[in-house]
Amino acid sequence: MIDTYISIALSLGLSILLVFFLRDWNTNAPLPPGPPTYFIGGNFHQLPKAHPWKKFTEWSKEYGPVFSLRIFRNKMIVLSSLEAVSDLLQSRSAIYSDRPPAMMMEELDRPTTSMFMTSSLDPRFKPLRKMLHSGLNPQATQTYRPIQLAETRVLLKNLAFNPDKFIAHIRRTAGAMILKVAYGYQVETDNDKWVKMIENAFALEDRISMLEEFYVVMFPILKYAPKWFPGAGARRKAEEVRKMSRSVKQVPFDWAKTQMINGTNEESFVSMHLGSNSGKNLEADEEGIVVTSSAALYVGGADTTVSALTTFVLLMTLYPEVQKQAQAEVDALTSGRLPTFDDLAAMPYITAMIKEIIRWAPVAPLGLVHSVTRDDSYNGFTIPKGSRVVGNIWAIAHDDELYPDPFTFNPERHLGETPQIDPFKFVFGFGRRVCPGSHFAQISLLFNIASILATFTIAKALDANQQEIEPPVDWTSGVVSHVKPFPCRFIPRSKDIMASLDGN
């Protein structure tokens, strides 16, 4: 009898707990439609382990361009059309620019020190954006041209000397350029300790899957669980990421500050914002904004540049006719020399090619998750306060109404009197969360790509029988998506350019 009472009590307690756990899910109905849910987990069991943007795109075709998911108690609204992201994330950015308050790392006791994860309601948000804009606006980025020129020359020399390691060379160049701009630090080798440190941080974060993140976000008690406890794997990984993230932010900053105190620094983003205060003890919040902003330059710029440039290399092997047309444009301007920044304005085809690269393979297919700060409605549906709102950039970039034959790489779609929608309008984010370094990224891509095309022809690798090897086309699943390694060849085009590189 006692066992029966205990069973009844446990069942009743569980029922009350479940009602409490799910009590607010239907209070704001009707939500946008979405796939059927389980009672407790909602759509958790349906979340894909890889390439979630593709599954979300499939669902958008079934349930509409605005659909909803429930992950335990959390609501997720996925926007898969340009109209929807424009109406909500752009036009209503005042309420759609927040970040979810319970990101996994916060649940694991990591303070919110990332610029990109800072709440729009945080008093630091506006100063951070203002500081980044001051260092990344078109006028400021012109002062970085000598750095871009020097690092691009290093990239070309490395590609000529050891082309098989082209991805490592691209990563080194992207990292070196940003580290020089942000801290005045000069990278000397592909194995530079800071480049490796930050590369390892990206790799660690990519190891934490969407499913693991939701385990901790939905069950915060897991952060108190022993490391051996089932479901605590995300905590172990997050502890590694937390330690690495602190190093990424603080080590380069401390080095730059020491150089300023010693009078041996070069001008940089950090020196510009610390100024005469470099040897003083700034208020924690004041110095923290400089630390966070300078780290955001690297975190926001380096990995995305690597993704886009690696995709460019792949596409040149797959579309040699596009490469020839782009090279013809470069050759008509340079006549056997390397391009200059003054040449870039006269390169409409290569500019169109870059737009097509980031459309064909967006570097951040889902961007970063937004959060809505109050209840809202759209097209007759409710979007409850606190909902996670995802802009499916990949779906928009492959919308066949915007881009006919969307899986074909075709720069011509961005030329002529009636070009298709400019992907620069959405691939860099939305509203108040748009990437502050988008202009710098565009110029860097244009200059690097024009320089590579002037110097090399990129071709498919050859096997032992001198037959071309078709490169595999596969992608990683992190926030920033990278094409997985593939073989190719870099064939020098100009003796004069190669000689000029040897002379530097």
CB-neighbour burial class of residue 379 (10 A; exposed 0-12, middle 13-18, buried 19+): exposed
Q: Ramachandran region of residue 51, left (φ > 0), alpha (ψ -120 to 50) or beta? A: left
Cα–Cα distance for residue pair 77/383, rounded to 1 Å? 8
Q: C-alpha distances in angstroms, 148 versus 26, 55, 66, 264, 440?
A: 53, 38, 41, 22, 10
Provide the b/e sequence for 8-41 (b: ≥16 CB within 10 Å): eeeeeeeeeeeeeeeeebeebeebbebbebeeee
Q: Which helix (H) or strand (E) holds 221?
A: none
> What six digits make up the tokens of 310?
């690696």
The residue type of 284 is A
Q: Which of 455, 482, 389, 462 is nearest to 153 (CA)?
A: 455
Cβ-contact 118, 112 below 8 angstroms: yes
Per the annotation, does 488 bind a ligand? no
Pairing of the two strands 376-378 and 370-371: unpaired
Q: Which uninterrupted H or E stretch holds 340?
A: none
Closest to 343 (Cα-Cα) out of 451, 262, 434: 451
User: Which tokens in the block code for residue 309?
Assistant: 């440039």
Of 122, 118, 127, 116, the closest CA to residue 289 belongs to 127
Distance CA 43, CA 34 (A): 9
Cβ–Cβ contacts within 10 Å for residue 490, how many?
21
- How many Cβ atoms sit within 10 Å of the Cβ of residue 282? 14
Pairing of strands 74-79, 388-391: parallel
Distance CA 355, CA 330 (A): 17
Q: Which residue, among 410, 391, 297, 424, has the nearest Cα to 80 in the 3D structure?
A: 391
User: Does residue 340 come out as left (phi exceeding 0), alpha (psi in the -120 to 50 range) or beta?
Assistant: beta
- Binding site members: 435
- Binding site members for heme: 435
